[in-house]
Structure 1
Amino acid sequence: MASMLDGCTPWPEEFVDRYWAAGHWRGNTLDNLLRVWALQYGPRTALVHDGTRITYANLNRRVDRMAAGFRLRGLRPGHRVVVQLPNVPEFVVTVFALMRLGAVPVFCPVSHRASEVSHIVHVTQAVGYVGPSTHQGFDHTAMAGDVAAQGPFLRRVFTREEPSASSSCGGLTVDASGCHYFPMGSIDAPPERAIARSANQVAFFLLSGAATAAPQLIPRTHNDYAYQARAAAELVSLTENDVYLAALPAEFNFTFGCPGIVGTLSVGGTVVLVENPGPAECLQLIERERVTVTSVVPAVAQLWLDVLPTVHADLSSLRLVQIGDAPVHRAIAERIAPELGCRLQQVFGMAEGLLTLTRPTDPDETVLTTQGRPLSPDDEIRIVDVDGADVPEGEPGELLARGPYTVRGYYRAPDHNAHSFTTDGYFRTGDLARRTPDSNLVVTGRPSGFPRQADHDDSSGHCRAGRPPALPITAGRVNDRRPCCARKAPRKRNSGPVRAALRGVCCTGCGDTRRRSPPAATGARLIGCAPSVENSDGCLLETVGQQGRHRQCGVGGGLGHHRHERDADDGEAVVARKRQVRAEDADEHQGEFGGTWGGGASRWRRRRERPGRCR
């Protein structure tokens, strides 16, 4: 089994063998599965958003070209990239393009702000950020620039709309801290040859919904997530004739793969993305696109039911509404079938893995009062008391779980893992539950003071993930939605003159050797390409400052070991020349920190005259 990223907890070999033997894990990466789906369903519609319709063949082609474009801009396999986009086709294209490149997307709710994003960048050492230029009046470009200025990791920002002239970077392609900005429309290049990768590797990171100082990172592999989406699609009998409405944010586990977007694409169905999920708009979309399946939280379901008499939408195409992941009040559940005219499915799940669902053939009483049974026959469930002992059948206790799609640990969080996972690999969900005689689960609540874990909603109907501000639901459970001031702010790194000394690579991020002329009327500094370094995770570490130091990649107090890459033709003369350049840089130290462009410009002219400086 290929090793996961450093900082991840792998499944023990005996469980790996079991899941492969059972056929749960099949060795296909998610981006490679998209190639298969494009061959099978090429001319069929894969994505719908407003007036845009994208076929499977076109989707795969866009993913190919964006992956090559990301590589041209300096991203490499193993790099982590924060993806903070609303429900638009670019979200799906970006996620699959990064996976095809071998980079690792980090899903981030679009409602998160600098405090959360900065924490995510620091923990994952993310070198890239993909987000809207502005969204609902908030300047994401400026926020990304602020985060980039706090540390050495984030150096490439890709915006869905080209930044305006009034943005923090002044509409330029690089700012004073060396962070490069690219409109997503420019991320396009001829496709490259496919690179084979292990499906045991991390496909992307989800965020936990724990109400702690900062969200935890959940590593989901290609093998485990492909199985989850495929099994969920089979359970709800998805076919190529189904149309799935992504009414909740696409970065939620519930929306992305339960079966959600991935499960729908796996069978050749159509995914309808709605960016502003007001109840009236969603109900009208169901009529216009003939939606058959959707997934919502209890509060959203109640909103739909309440506004339905005023909308007068034809919902006859709708056959299934999933309500997840905590119990829905019976009064609301009983209204689904008569008022929406479709079947209800209760879903309980979390970004860490475990999914329980009611079945289409279950009696009405089971659907109305329970959260169903685990998705996989290899899901292992325990209900324990405060001492960790199994409770008698039918008694409530804390729900523990492990299985082929439930992670064994958070990313780079050993202390948190020590109390969130048992020594034999069970995840402590923090939810109180009991088991009925027919093996269905009834989730009854959470222990007092226990942080929330899952990523959908709680029994009161409050959402527990990052909810778009336009949705009139109070804060709750899908991801921690406390205001930034309630979170522990990460310590700022490399502030003051050291931050000014941090350098990026070539201003296009492409790694070429072309020189760039400094802008005449700004304080931004465009520099030539500098030698790059990679740590053991494949994370690009760029050269730092006048003294020839390199950016450190420490997290939690530890520093990564840097592997300095040299070209095959690096001889002793070149090495000696580099040492000379570092010495000259040190001599120029005082002039660079003088705060004027003149010193930097003269240094730029001298740098251009140095042979072999750019590589």
Structure 2
Amino acid sequence: MSTENAVKPEWDPANKLYPPEFERRYREAGYWTDDTFAQLLDVAASQYGSNEAVVGLNWAGSEIRWTYKEVLDRAIDIGAQLSRAGVTVRSRVLVQLPNIADFVPVVAAIFRIGAIPLFSIPAHRRDALGSFIEAAEPVAIVTVGRYGDCDHRKLMRETLLETEYRPQVLVLAEDPLEFEVLDSPTDSVSVPRHTHTVPAAAPEPTELAFLQVSGGTTGVPKLIPRSHAAYHYTLRRSVEICNVTQATRFLVVIPCAHNFAMSSPGILSVLLAGGTVVMCPDPMPSTAFELVEREKITLVSLVPPLLMLWLAMSGKSAADLSSLEVINVGGAALAAEAAARVGPTFGCTLQQVFGMAEGLVNYTRLDDRSDVIINSQGYPLSPADEIKILNEDGTPTTEGEPGVLWTRGPYTIRGYLGGVGADSFDEEGFYCPGDIVRRLPSGHLRVEGRISDHINRAGEKISAEEIENHIVALPQVVDAAVVGVTDPRLGERSCAFIVAQPGKVISHSEINGYLRDRGLANYKIPDQTIVREHFPVTGVGKLSRRALRKELASIAEDQELGLRT
């Protein structure tokens, strides 16, 4: 269904995230409660005050351990600073923080004063950040100074030069440059230093709680509105399904602002259950393995490329990984061959997760048969999740046959912020994530692929059109086509096919340097560049991406054969 022909809902999605009849249905069924994120940390601190809540490095590189009571003290302190900076109830605050312990009290502070966080991952650059600011109009931004190879202060400076909005930028750093310091303590002693504190807000459970970022289906990612009631339900169910308890010690390896890292089961689920969140500062297996041994990690969530690295490095490491009980793998389909190696290699249970920030989450259950865990991506979190598997013409597939997934349920959104991407939703409120799935006799789903021209690289969704639009802006380029090819490590890798101006020469490094200069995130930079005199076309003269993919797959096969011989 095209955006122009999308049926207008009878309710106003700008103010109500779900139609009234569905609000009543989900409330009466007990899926939705009065729980909100404004009170989450206060409730957790009252129940688990002396439990260890967060372990990791903070923004200053200090190794700290905070109890639930100490995290709450920090959240109250940070909330007071945010309030003085002009953040009020329902204000939006863009958060771009790496995997540091400060992430938890900063986010808790925003929730606690009734404001709305917008979660951005550290890899986002000017193009994405600028679009988030334009769409969400945040009154404040919370970020760090230099982290890894990026100075986020300068990134924000460059981003704001390209937009008319001027949010207050608060920086976790000794030197904020022209911005304001977010004065978070650098030690593990909790001493609130501000006399003015703000009581926990009391938002309506059906109100907008926060904004997440989609994988992007039209170039720059879209913003996903999540309500308190709907998202809280996913946390409670994830705690139940994944057996998260006070004894759980969860290692955050993937970016902490990812939906997968936050809820499936994730940081927020662990805090809800009174467990411990351990922040891993970088994704290298050596770093993670050291933390698993030292912190007696029981649970970790990985995307398939990271799992493959873990499998490759496990035999080369002397670290004791015996505390691991469950490894969650999601973000992209996991090959059965790799899935089968998890149990024997790590001595723990694999739990496959197929979900999306827009809503639907599927888990294999911890007591599923091993063949089901290895060969499927789970079944829905909720009995109220509705699944349609359709042919291209919109008719239902024969049971067991692959088709396009459409879904609706008590935590799947009904639209993106601002009404963009309306063609991803049908008139009944079902959402299409673009996945091709089949349903097994057990009810589990198996992911067969994607229907779009988008590339799933290590769990990050890349829009071919976005990258192409940047490349063709180069004066020596006539045309560009970006396609993906299966990669055993990344899931998919990207290749830019280029048609250059006659007599012009352009290299892979030149293309990539140009894209970085234009502010694209590193994961969007093509892994390979091939220059062609012309592109293959279909019978009606359109670009044949299928032919390019076939050519790329053939090249990859030849390269693999060459390595083997």
Q: TM-score, normalised by structure 2?
A: 0.76
Superimposed CA distance per residue, residues 141-185 of structure 1 (whole angstroms, 9 cap, x where no aligned partner): 122123333344233111111326xx5x3xxxxxxxxxx523443
Q: Secondary structure at the match of 1:197?
A: coil
Match of residue 310, structure 1, among 316, 320, 323? 316
| Length, aligned pairs only | 456
- If asked which structure has higher relative contact order (CA below 8 Å, sep 6+), I would say 1
Q: Are 2:380 and 1:382 aligned? A: no
Please give the alpha-carbon distance, in whole angstroms, between the structure 2 residues aligned to 1:226 and 1:487: 38
Structure-2 residue corresponding to 1:420: 424
Q: Are 2:372 and 1:366 aligned? A: yes
Contact 1:125 1:154 survives alignment (8 Å):
no
Shift of 1:485: 6.4
Shift of 1:213: 2.1
Residues 14-413 of structure 1 aligned to structure 2 (within 5 Å) = 14-50=21-57, 51-163=63-175, 167=177, 169=178, 180-185=179-184, 189=194, 190-413=196-419
Q: Are 2:440 and 1:436 aligned? A: yes
Shift of 1:199: 1.6
Shift of 1:87: 0.7
The structure having more radius of gyration, on CA atoms, is 1
Q: Are 2:449 and 1:445 aligned? A: yes
Superimposed CA distance per residue, residues 361-393 of structure 1 (whole angstroms, 9 cap, x where no aligned partner): 111110000111100011000001112221111
Q: Secondary structure at the match of 1:89?
A: coil
Shift of 1:334: 1.2
Q: Secondary structure at the match of 2:405?
A: strand
Contact 2:53 2:276 survives alignment (8 Å):
yes
Contact 2:50 2:69 survives alignment (8 Å):
yes
Residues 493-532 of structure 1 aligned to structure 2 (within 5 Å) = none
Contact 1:141 1:163 survives alignment (8 Å):
no
Contact 1:243 1:269 survives alignment (8 Å):
yes
Letter paired with 1:35: D
Please give the alpha-carbon distance, in whole angstroms, between the structure 2 residues aligned to 1:326 and 1:113: 23
Q: What's the Cα RMSD here?
A: 2.6
Contact 2:38 2:201 survives alignment (8 Å):
no
Match of residue 17, structure 2, among 10, 27, 41? 10
Structure-1 residue corresponding to 2:552: none
Q: Are 2:470 and 1:463 aligned? A: no
Contact 2:304 2:489 survives alignment (8 Å):
no
Q: 1:275 to 1:5 in 2, by over 3 A?
A: farther
Shift of 1:76: 1.4
Contact 2:434 2:452 survives alignment (8 Å):
no
Structure-1 residue corresponding to 2:531: none
Superimposed CA distance per residue, residues 317-371 of structure 1 (whole angstroms, 9 cap, x where no aligned partner): 1110011133211221111111111000111001101001111111111000011
Higher strand share: 2
Q: 1:362 to 1:388 in 2, by over 3 A?
A: same
Q: Secondary structure at the match of 2:315?
A: helix
* Gapped regions of structure 1 (runs ≥ 5): 170-179, 453-457, 467-471, 491-615
Structure-2 residue corresponding to 1:469: none
Letter paired with 2:311: L
Over the matched positions of the two proteins, sequence identity in percent amounts to 35
Q: 1:31 to 1:372 in 2, by over 3 A?
A: same
Contact 2:93 2:139 survives alignment (8 Å):
yes
Please give the alpha-carbon distance, in whole angstroms, between the structure 2 residues aligned to 1:310 and 1:400: 43
Please give the alpha-carbon distance, in whole angstroms, between the structure 2 residues aligned to 1:262 and 1:365: 30
Please give the alpha-carbon distance, in whole angstroms, between the structure 2 residues aligned to 1:392 and 1:355: 23
Please give the alpha-carbon distance, in whole angstroms, between the structure 2 residues aligned to 1:239 and 1:116: 36
Please give the alpha-carbon distance, in whole angstroms, between the structure 1 residues aligned to 2:326 and 2:149: 35
Please give the alpha-carbon distance, in whole angstroms, between the structure 2 residues aligned to 1:437 and 1:290: 38
Please give the alpha-carbon distance, in whole angstroms, between the structure 2 residues aligned to 1:87 and 1:68: 23
Q: 1:484 to 1:29 in 2, by over 3 A?
A: farther
Please give the alpha-carbon distance, in whole angstroms, between the structure 2 residues aligned to 1:340 and 1:270: 21
